[in-house]
Amino acid sequence: MKIIIVGAGIGGLATALSLEAAGYDDVIVVERARELRPLGVGINLLPHAVRELTELGLADAVAAIGTAPGRLSYFNRFGQPVWSEPRGLEAGYRWPQLSVHRGEFQLLLAEEVRRRLGADAIRLGLRATGVEHGVAGADGRVVERARFADAAGAELVLDADVVIGADGIHSALRAQAHPSEGAPPWNRLVLWRGTALAPTYLDGRTMIMAGDAEQKFVAYPLVAPGAEDGLTRVNFIAERRAPEGVDETADWNHAVDPAPIVELFADWRFDWLDVPAVIAAADEILEYPMVDRDPLASWTIGRTTLLGDAAHALYPNGSNGASQAILDARSLAFRLATSVDVDAALAAYEGDRRPATTKLNAMTRQLGPERVMQLAYERAPHGFADIHDVIPEAELQEIADGYKVAAGFHPEQLNQRSSLTPPARA
């Protein structure tokens, strides 16, 4: 069976590796960019994704480029503690949580795809322009016919049994199937992402989030404690609702001057972290709109389906988009290897993943696990002596647990669920 994956992001590359592990070797990944470069900043791979990477034989390689946070702690905008929980192995998972550089992780996956599926398995510099479904192929078989354009505009036509659109939030394959959808909706939050060398805070292994729905700061170490003398390289995201009048169609994803962002956070000097100093120390700050996608009623047309951000781009609340793409990849490969035919497999994949990610979309629009910070703000906008005077412990626990169950990484659920490696390959 020939399978074409459109897009060599984390979703597309994880799909290629999952298909190879499920017994498919006629797989190519076709990518618009002419070169894969280690772009972006940090992301967290949650234990459900690390389980899948482990079962793909990548545990050591990914651990070598990452560091494992031991706690996640939420604070209000005065730095007062709202909620704190252990993470990864410390929380009883059989797999760690790993903070990695997004670009390094993508390159690691790409190298592994080439090693396992062949040097030509990733075809660069080809932009997908559309797919025709169920056409007669050269040998009379019914195929999906994918069309690509190179930088010079020359067309390449490739036939396959299955096409997977892993081409991100601005997916061409999604746009073809849903032509009236338009641009991703923006909730008027602006995100500034960067990395900085900053004095080690708390225990050196804690991911922190401070603030509320209007303004927030997130930071986590990208290196193990002690890697630098008294300093830690941290990844951060600063976030603030844009004033009316900001042009939604502006050129995002570019480097910006840190000074106005430092100013926005000028009062956020906690006794355990100096937020404006971290922002001021950034190597570079990139600006993004917080956008997602409305859930779709179906992902599959013919034998072409969607995966990762192309299928279900989510707000980053919960640090879960790439992890969900990896779950998609494993589910799709498992279903192809264990279903009676391709149509049944694609239907089963959608059944596994579309309702689950639709629910997550609704939860992330309600702030996901970060709702604890907004509740603290609504009930005590000027701060509190003890968070439990404001939010009972049980309510905080319920929000944390509810999100983990919906996202598929509650420790009991994840530790016990069966593997997505097809039984014949286990």
Ligand X SMILES: Cc1cc2nc3c(=O)[nH]c(=O)nc-3n(C[C@H](O)[C@H](O)[C@H](O)COP(=O)(O)OP(=O)(O)OC[C@H]3O[C@@H](n4cnc5c(N)ncnc54)[C@H](O)[C@@H]3O)c2cc1C
Per rule CB under 6 A, is residue 325 in the interface with ligand X? yes
Options 43, 109, 213, 380; binder of ligand X; rule CB under 6 A: 43
Applying CB under 6 A, the site for ligand X has a residue count of: 32
Task: Point out which span in 1-9, 154-162, 199-207, 279-287 binds ligand X (CB under 6 A).
Answer: 1-9
Residue nearer to ligand X on the CB measure, 70 or 321? 321
CB 346 within 8 A of CB 304: no
Task: Point out which span in 4-12, 84-92, 130-138, 278-286 binds ligand X (CB under 6 A).
Answer: 4-12
Per rule CB under 6 A, is residue 73 in the interface with ligand X? no
Q: Which of 419, 137, 183, 169 is nearest to 303 (CA)?
A: 137
Options 309, 350, 352, 370; binder of ligand X; rule CB under 6 A: 309
Per rule CB under 6 A, is residue 175 in the interface with ligand X? no
Options 319, 357, 364, 374; binder of ligand X; rule CB under 6 A: 319
Per rule CB under 6 A, is residue 16 in the interface with ligand X? no
C-alpha 234: how far from chain center? 18
Closest approach, Cβ 370 to ligand X, in A, equals 12
The H-or-E segment that residue 197 falls in is strand 186-199
Options 4, 53, 322, 396; binder of ligand X; rule CB under 6 A: 322
Closest approach, Cβ 310 to ligand X, in A, equals 6
Task: Point out which span in 28-36, 133-141, 385-393, 416-424 binds ligand X (CB under 6 A).
Answer: 28-36
CB 321 within 8 A of CB 309: yes
Angle 191-386-370 (CA atoms, 0-180°, nearest 5)? 25
What span, in angstroms and rounded, lies between the C-alpha atoms of 96 and 91? 9
Residue nearer to ligand X on the CB measure, 120 or 229? 120
Closest approach, Cβ 328 to ligand X, in A, equals 8
Q: Which residues pair with 215 in a beta bridge?
A: 240
Q: Which residues contact 182 (CB under 8 A, 6 or more apart)?
A: none
Options 316, 368, 369, 408; binder of ligand X; rule CB under 6 A: 316
Q: Which of 403, 422, 423, 399 is nearest to 413 (CA)?
A: 403
Q: Which residues pair with 188 in a beta bridge?
A: none
Options 4, 6, 131, 262; binder of ligand X; rule CB under 6 A: 6
CB 205 within 8 A of CB 91: no
What span, in angstroms and rounded, lies between the C-alpha atoms of 242 and 247? 10
Binding mask 111-130 for ligand X (x = CB under 6 A): ----------------xx--
What span, in angstroms and rounded, lies between the C-alpha atoms of 413 and 244? 43
What order do you get walking across the sheet with 142-149 strand by strand?
127-136, 142-149, 155-160
Q: Which of 8, 116, 12 is nearest to 58 (CA)?
A: 116
Closest approach, Cβ 186 to ligand X, in A, equals 12
Closest approach, Cβ 382 to ligand X, in A, equals 29
Per rule CB under 6 A, is residue 131 in the interface with ligand X? no
What span, in angstroms and rounded, lies between the C-alpha atoms of 278 and 210? 14
Q: Which of residues 227-246 bind ligand X (CB under 6 A)?
A: 237
Per rule CB under 6 A, is residue 22 in the interface with ligand X? no
Q: Which residues pair with 236 in a beta bridge?
A: 194, 219
Per rule CB under 6 A, is residue 8 in the interface with ligand X? yes
Per rule CB under 6 A, is residue 88 in the interface with ligand X? no
Per rule CB under 6 A, is residue 168 in the interface with ligand X? yes
Task: Point out which span in 29-37, 63-71, 88-96, 407-415 binds ligand X (CB under 6 A).
Answer: 29-37
Per rule CB under 6 A, is residue 194 in the interface with ligand X? no
Neighbours of 94 (CB within 10 A): 13
CA 243 to each of CA 112, 189, 192, 214, 367: distance values in angstroms, whole numbers, following the listed order:
44, 9, 15, 11, 20
Residue identified by tokens 């020359």 is: 154
Residue nearer to ligand X on the CB measure, 163 or 166? 166
Per rule CB under 6 A, is residue 9 in the interface with ligand X? yes
Site residues, ligand X (CB under 6 A): 6-12, 30-33, 43-44, 127-128, 166-168, 172, 191, 193, 237, 288, 308-309, 316, 319-323, 325
